[in-house]
């Protein structure tokens, strides 16, 4: 059972050497990996995969964790939402989020202004964290989603799709644009006492992109993606 079951990773010093995956290892390994089995990620209960109705949800009988969903047209919808989200996100980053009027002074700020200001005040770590959670992670996340879904739509297997899908999962918790939006709303209330607030175009674009990106995330079912990939060249 050892041979051919899983690729071994050898460690030479600190570098990890992975064997190259065979071109169609899904078919060659079908007998060993158990696609019909599911282990609950939260309690490890082993279960058999059962088909569920469209829009249905399969939960772990022991701990109630949502194991999988049957989302209709998962990839098509995710693709549409991701594209819309990316465009709106670009608009939201470029145009001012908020304007502030003190008498005759008008100050407008984008997200990048805030990141730059934090950096120049010596809070490089905080600035980098905001950059990561509000720009780098969401953009990479959508980018990877498109990278996987566009070729898949045409029945092709993207190059190193394994890395892209692992990255997609790892980045998910670090994309915090919806939290940023709440932060913007709180600061609007805070500033309303001091001056006149003018919501900018960027704010509306950001709000739209959040809806699209959260929808894309909710609609993309990675299980479906892996199953579709297994059928691709």
Tell me which residues in 115-134 interact with other proteins (CB under 8 A).
Answer: 115, 117-118, 121, 123, 125-126, 129-130, 133-134
- Choice between 45 and 83, CB closer to other proteins: 45
CA pair distance 190, 184, nearest whole angstrom: 10
Q: 197-211 as b/e, with b when 16 or more CB fall inside 10 Å? A: beebebbebbbbbbe
Q: Which residue has the tokens 């997200």?
A: 111
Distance between CA atoms of 186 and 209, rounded to whole angstroms?
19
Q: How far is the CB of 48 from other proteins (least distance, A)?
A: 11
Shortest Å distance, C-beta 72 to other proteins: 21
Q: How many residues bind other proteins (CB under 8 A)?
A: 79
Binding to other proteins by CB under 8 A, coded x per residue (else -) over 182-201, reads: xxx-xx-xxx-xxx------
Interface of this chain with other proteins, residues 68 to 87, rule: CB under 8 A: none
CA distance readout (Å), 165 to 104, 108, 210: 51, 38, 21
Contact 58, 66 (CB under 8 A): yes
Nearest CB to other proteins, comparing residues 65 and 87: 65
Cβ of residue 172: shortest distance to other proteins, in angstroms?
10
Q: Which of 63, 66, 58 is nearest to 45 (CA)?
A: 63
Q: What residues from 14 to 43 belong to the interface with other proteins (CB under 8 A)?
A: 16, 18-19, 21, 25-26, 29, 32-35, 37-39, 41-43
- Give the pair of three-digit tokens for residue 214: 């959260």
Q: How far is the CB of 43 from other proteins (least distance, A)?
A: 4
Map 79-127 to HEC letters.
HHHHHHHHHHHHHHHHCCCEEEEECCEEEEECHHHHHHHHHHCCCHHHH
Residue 91 lies near other proteins (rule: CB under 8 A): no
**Residue 94 binds other proteins, judged by CB under 8 A:** no
With binding defined as CB under 8 A, does residue 136 bind other proteins?
no
Which residues are 66's β-sheet partners?
A: 59
Q: Which of residues 143-182 bind other proteins (CB under 8 A)?
A: 162-163, 165-166, 169-170, 173, 176, 179-180, 182
Q: Is 100 in the site for other proteins (CB under 8 A)?
A: yes
């Amino acid at each position: 059972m050892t041979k051919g079951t899983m690729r071994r990773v050898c460690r030479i010093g600190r570098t990890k050497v992975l064997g190259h995956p065979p071109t169609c290892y899904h078919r060659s390994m079908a007998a060993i990996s158990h696609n019909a089995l599911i282990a609950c990620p939260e309690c490890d209960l082993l279960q058999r995969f059962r088909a569920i109705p469209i829009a249905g949800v399969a939960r772990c009988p022991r701990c109630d964790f949502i194991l999988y969903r049957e989302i209709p047209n998962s990839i098509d919808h995710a693709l549409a939402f991701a594209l819309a989200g990316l465009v709106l996100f670009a608009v939201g980053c470029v145009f001012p989020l908020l304007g502030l009027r003190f008498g005759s002074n008008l100050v407008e700020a984008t997200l990048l202004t805030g990141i730059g200001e934090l950096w120049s005040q010596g809070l490089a770590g905080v600035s980098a964290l905001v950059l990561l959670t509000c720009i780098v992670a969401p953009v990479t996340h959508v980018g990877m989603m498109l990278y996987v879904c566009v070729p898949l739509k045409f029945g092709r297997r993207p190059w190193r799709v394994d890395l892209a899908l692992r990255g997609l999962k790892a980045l998910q918790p670090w994309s915090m644009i919806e939290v940023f939006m709440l932060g913007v709303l709180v600061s609007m209330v805070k500033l309303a006492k001091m001056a006149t607030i003018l919501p900018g175009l960027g704010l509306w674009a950001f709000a739209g992109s959040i809806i699209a990106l959260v929808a894309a995330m909710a609609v993309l079912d990675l299980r479906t993606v892996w199953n579709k990939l297994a059928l691709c060249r």
